[in-house]
């Protein structure tokens, strides 16, 4: 650096605690929730959602969406999210990214009419977008091929059949601002799922060597400009960041987007270490978690509905399956799950988080605890069935030793000392992928 020049370093968060890793995590979670997540959503309960993606993928019409919304409303779900496929010539993932005009043939009318139909059912409305991407088979690419990140003279490198728009380009930033301004300004949208399904490769748009070297940094600055503009202007909209799942689960994006989709893998057993790991730094209120169909679409695993529900209740509960195809018995159980989660939602989203058993260390089990005010919820999951092993004992944390705690739904009362030092013995039947949840109330 030359004399009298200055350089602003990136902002870093440094956390200290004398209470071990749990204390360190709780300090971090509290700081992120209070000072990084946008204030309107830092302490606002997240709605329970239904996302149509794994129910329909690209193959949907308005009638199917409204049927799905009807079933969602019946079971107590609060937010309907329309995922990929609502715009342009988007009938598969080979085309139309960048063409953010409503496909009215597919929706059976305008987007505003669909939103009104969802709102009339008492549900909020959410929408999927992927503004940083562009398809070669799109009107936008045909008009502006130079807007894609690329190295001149070389063939494109594709991922999910798409390219990345160059957010270091002022024209691109202004265009995306205008497109999303029109979308949000003219529609009553309550939630946006902002996706980014590939990494950036072949940086080469700079007019000089130095510009190209700076392109990735300039890209992020352009992105921050767009999301800052949108979240300030539409501060009532809940934005969720997604990047093939958790590829962009960072504090820079969380400054603008209060919620993160932790992984596109919705299998409950695969989710255990993902969600557990997220808790080391991020507050639970920032993490979306969904109950999906079985066999699971990523892993092919058959997991009981109860277990899928318990795992998703470790975060902000949502559903991603075809409610219209389920038997009434399963719909009744989902309705019970939704009703139950509403009673523990403040504990999960605002409470202190304690990790009891780490699923990432070959333990064949996982357990977490949330405590808020006078209530505590503990969730235990066993992955595979075992024989001739002692039942696990969960030693709770952060309770008052001399206080008494009643297990909800029973007359059983425990002292805080008993729950923390002797522990709670978990008894499960034989079988894989089973779980149990306990809710305690301090007397």
- What CATH number is associated with residue 434? 2.60.40.1180
Last residue of a domain, one of 302, 330, 352: 352
State the alpha helices, DSSP H only, in 370-440: 416-417
- For 265-320, the pLDDT digits (tens) are 999 999 999 999 999 999 999 999 999 999 999 999 999 999 999 999 999 999 99
Q: Same domain for 279 and 395?
A: no
The closest of 443, 409, 411, 412 to 425, measured between CA atoms, is: 412
- The verdict on residue 91 lying in a domain is yes
- Is 90 exceeded by the pLDDT of residue 10? no
**79 and 223 assigned to the same domain:** yes
* pLDDT band per the 50, 70, 90 thresholds, residue 258: very high
Q: Is the pLDDT of residue 393 over 90?
A: yes
| Domain assignment present for 132 | yes
Cα-based distances in Å from 118 to 115, 121, 170, 188, 344: 5, 5, 36, 11, 26
Measured from the Cβ of residue 421, the count of other Cβ atoms closer than 10 Å reads 11
CATH number at 291 reads 3.20.20.70
The answer to whether residue 6 is domain-embedded is no
In this structure, the answer to whether residues 341 and 200 fall within a common structural domain is yes
**17 Rama sector, left if φ>0, alpha if ψ -120 to 50, beta otherwise:** beta
Q: Domain containing 391: what range?
A: 365-442
Q: Is 2 inside a domain boundary?
A: no
3-state class of 16 per DSSP? coil
> pLDDT tier at 262 (50, 70, 90 boundaries)?
very high
**Burial label, 154 (beta-carbon count in 10 A; 0-12, 13-18, 19+):** exposed
CB 133 within 8 A of CB 97: yes
DSSP 341-378: HHHHHHHHHHSEEEEEE-TTSS-SEEEEEEEETTEEEE
pLDDT tens per residue across span 316-373: 999 999 999 999 999 999 999 999 999 999 999 999 999 999 998 788 999 999 999 9
292: number of CA atoms within 13 Å, CB side?
Answer: 25
In this prediction, residue 44 carries a pLDDT of 98
Q: Name which of 117, 132, 131, 128 is nearest 49 in CA terms.
A: 128
Q: What is the mean pLDDT of residues 70-92?
A: 98
Smallest CA-to-CA distance from 396 within 372, 377, 373 is with 377
- pLDDT above 90 (res 46): yes
Residues known to be catalytic: 195, 264
What value does the mean pLDDT take over residues 412-433?
97
pLDDT the model gives residue 202: 93
297 and 435, same domain (yes or no): no
Picking from 329, 352, 375, the residue at the C-terminal end of a domain is: 352
Same domain, 244 and 267: yes
* Whether residue 240 sits in one domain with residue 158: yes
Evaluate whether 37 touches 256 at the Cβ level (below 8 Å): no
How large a percentage of the chain has pLDDT more than 90? 95
Residue 357, domain member (yes or no):
no
Residues 340, 397, single domain; the answer is no
Which of the pair, 207 or 336, is modelled with greater confidence? Answer: 336
Q: Tell the residue number behind the tokens 């997540």, with chain if given.
A: 37
pLDDT tens sequence across 209-221: 999 999 999 999 9
Residue 8: the pLDDT is 85
Does the pLDDT at position 58 exceed 80? yes
Local confidence band at 245 (pLDDT 50, 70, 90 cut-offs): confident
Considering the domain architecture, whether residues 140 and 223 belong to the same structural domain is answered as: yes
Examine the domain organization and report whether 309 and 437 are in the same domain.
no
The whole-number pLDDT of residue 56 equals 98
User: Torsions phi, psi of 193, nearest 5?
Assistant: -100, 110
What is the mean predicted confidence (pLDDT) over 28-56? 97
Tell me, what's the pLDDT at 110?
A: 98
DSSP sequence for 61-128? -HHHHHHHHHHHHHTT--EEEE-S-SBTT-SSTTB-TT--SB-HHHHTS-HHHHHHHHHHTT-EEEEE
Closest CA to 48 of 73, 20, 27, 23: 73
Judge whether residue 7 has pLDDT over 90.
no
Split into its structural domains, the chain has a count of: 2
At 130-187, the pLDDT tens digits run: 999 999 999 999 999 999 999 999 999 999 999 999 999 999 999 999 999 999 999 9
Crossing angle of helices 328-350/305-312, nearest 10°? 20
What pLDDT is stored for residue 360 in this prediction? 87
DSSP per residue over 219-273, as a string?
HHHHHHHHHHHHHHHTTTSEEEE-BTBBTT-SHHHHTT-SEEE-BS---HHHHHH
Is residue 3 situated within a structural domain? no
> Taking all residues of the chain, what is their mean pLDDT, rounded to a whole number?
96
* Structure token pair of residue 229: 């503009």
Instruction: Note whether residue 7 is domain-resident.
Output: no
Cis omega before residue 259 (within 30°)?
no
User: Does 151 lie in the same domain as 25?
Assistant: yes
The answer, yes or no, to whether residue 205 has pLDDT greater than 80, is: yes
**How far from 235 is each of 180, 191, 225, 243, 258, CA to CA, in Å?**
14, 11, 15, 22, 11
Report the pLDDT value the prediction gives residue 1, as an integer from 0 to 100.
82
Q: Are residues 348 and 370 in the same domain?
A: no
C-beta of residue 195 within 8 angstroms of C-beta of residue 242: yes
């Amino acid at each position: 650096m030359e004399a009298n020049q200055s350089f602003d370093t990136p902002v870093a968060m440094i956390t200290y605690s004398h209470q071990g890793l749990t204390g360190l995590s709780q300090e971090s979670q509290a700081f992120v929730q209070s000072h990084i997540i946008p204030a309107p959503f830092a302490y606002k309960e997240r709605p329970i959602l239904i996302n149509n993606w794994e129910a329909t993928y690209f193959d949907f019409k308005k009638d199917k969406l409204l049927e799905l919304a009807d079933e969602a409303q019946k079971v107590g779900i609060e937010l309907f999210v329309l995922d990929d496929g609502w715009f342009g010539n988007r009938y598969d993932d080979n085309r139309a990214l960048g063409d953010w005009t409503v496909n009215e043939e597919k929706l059976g009318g305008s987007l505003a009419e669909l939103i009104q139909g969802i709102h009339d059912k008492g549900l909020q409305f959410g929408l999927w977008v992927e503004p940083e991407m562009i398809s070669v088979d799109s009107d936008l690419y045909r008009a502006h091929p130079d807007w894609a990140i690329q190295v001149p003279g070389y063939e494109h490198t594709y991922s999910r059949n798409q390219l990345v728009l160059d957010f270091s380009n002022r024209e691109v930033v202004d265009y995306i601002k205008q497109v999303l301004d029109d979308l949000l300004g003219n529609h009553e949208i309550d939630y946006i799922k902002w996706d980014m399904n590939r990494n950036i490769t072949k940086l080469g748009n700079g007019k000089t060597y130095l510009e190209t070297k700076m392109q990735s940094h300039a890209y992020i600055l352009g992105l921050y400009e767009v999301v800052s503009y949108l979240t300030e202007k539409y501060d009532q909209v809940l934005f969720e960041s997604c990047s093939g799942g958790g590829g962009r689960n960072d504090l820079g994006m969380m400054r603008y987007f209060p919620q993160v989709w932790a992984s596109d893998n919705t299998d409950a057993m695969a989710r255990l270490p993902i969600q557990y790991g997220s808790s080391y730094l991020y507050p639970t209120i920032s993490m979306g978690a969904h109950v999906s169909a079985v066999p699971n679409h990523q892993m092919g695993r058959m997991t009981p509905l109860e277990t899928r529900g318990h795992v998703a209740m470790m975060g902000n509960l949502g559903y991603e399956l075809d409610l219209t195809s389920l038997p009434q018995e399963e719909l009744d159980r989902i309705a019970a799950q939704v009703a139950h989660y509403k009673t523990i939602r403040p504990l999960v989203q605002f409470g202190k988080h304690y990790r009891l058993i780490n699923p990432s260390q070959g333990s064949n089990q996982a357990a977490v605890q949330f405590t808020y005010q006078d209530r505590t919820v503990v969730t235990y999951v066993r992955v595979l069935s075992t024989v001739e092993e002692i039942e696990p004992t969960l030693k709770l944390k952060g309770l008052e030793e001399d206080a008494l705690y009643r297990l909800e739904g029973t007359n059983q009362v425990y002292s805080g000392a008993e729950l923390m030092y002797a522990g709670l013995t978990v008894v499960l039947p034989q079988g894989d992928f089973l779980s149990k949840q306990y809710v305690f109330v301090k007397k």
